[in-house]
Copies of this chain bind each other. A is one copy, B any other.
Amino acid sequence: MSVTNEAEDMAATARYRFLLIQAFRLPEDSPYRHRRIGAAREQALMNFDFVGPLLQDVDWEVHAGALTTYGDWAVETRAEFAFSAAARLPLVREACESGKYNAIVLLGGGEPGFLESCEIARPFGIPVTSCAFSQMHYATMLGNKFSVIDLAENHNMYYYNLVIQHRMADRCASIRMINFPHERPGHEVERQFHVERDKARRGEFSVAVEEAVEAAVAAIEEDGAEVITLGCSGTFWLQPILQRRLNELGWEVPVLEGYRCAITLAKSLVDMGLTASGLTFPDVRPRRWRKKKVF
């Protein structure tokens, strides 16, 4: 099930035993696949350079995710997220039942299947964290309002629903768009986001970075953002770059991305022995039930 073997000797007594599950897995022959699969877990995890340090005291595995059921391109629409959610849930249940993990971290910026995974994992005493939820919560601990930098119009509006579901509408200053949608059949893109990432990492000029900086500054100056977060996990590589650029401009504003927030939150919950409330995510037949629920 897992992409790596390293963790086979994962000690049952380790403090943190995490399974990180990708949002989806593209078929091997997909032309839209930009990450190599297989290899070591370190390659499997995007942005391992700045995410890795947080995993040093964790026994962790990365699950490559469920094969996409809707096509061979990256998830972007609400429907594609629904398919990915359904496909990921069995992996979550399997992970819980394995007894190997004490937390599950859902990778993927749009966190398909997050609430459902909490429901599945709670009776096992296993917390589940994910990227949008974790970013939003940390953001509201750091400032009054946050904005989201995101990369496709349909993903923006799917994410809009997440903001509402997480009851963050009055803390979210805006979702700011830089227009770098994923490629999909019939929709080639002129400006490939992963190409931009590579340019930026090589220290070259990247229009994506410039547009992200511009969007973040507009979020700060016009929308009232006091913290910057990132939407689609495809944008998470921007975090250190955007943080540096904004600081250089004089804006002392935290920039978050989802992996580190989700991993860190998972550690927190394991440390305190917490999972989501059984009233919020009741069992099939809860021992007690409430006559009424209020808002």
Q: Given A119-B77, A261-B272, are A169 and B295 neighbors across the interface (CB < 8 Å)? A: yes
Q: Given A89-B79, A252-B278, A279-B253, are A153 and B295 neighbors across the interface (CB < 8 Å)? A: no
* Candidates B83, B167, B225, B294; contact of A89 at CB < 8 Å: B83
In the bound complex, do residue A161 and residue B165 qualify as a contact, i.e. CB atoms below 8 Å apart?
Answer: yes
Q: Nearest CB to that of A223 among chain B residues?
A: B292
Q: Nearest CB to that of A293 among chain B residues?
A: B175
Shortest CB-to-CB span from A211 to chain B, Å, is 10
C-beta contact mask, A231-269 vs B, less than 8 Å → 1, else 0?
000000000000000000111111010001100110110
Is the C-beta of A181 less than 8 angstroms from some C-beta in chain B? Answer: yes
Further pairs besides A82-B82, A175-B292, A220-B290: 12, Cβ < 8 Å: A77-B119, A78-B115, A82-B85, A82-B86, A144-B280, A160-B293, A167-B171, A176-B291, A252-B287, A260-B271, A261-B272, A267-B268
Closest 7 CB pairs of A and B: A252-B278, A250-B287, A86-B86, A143-B277, A250-B288, A224-B294, A169-B295
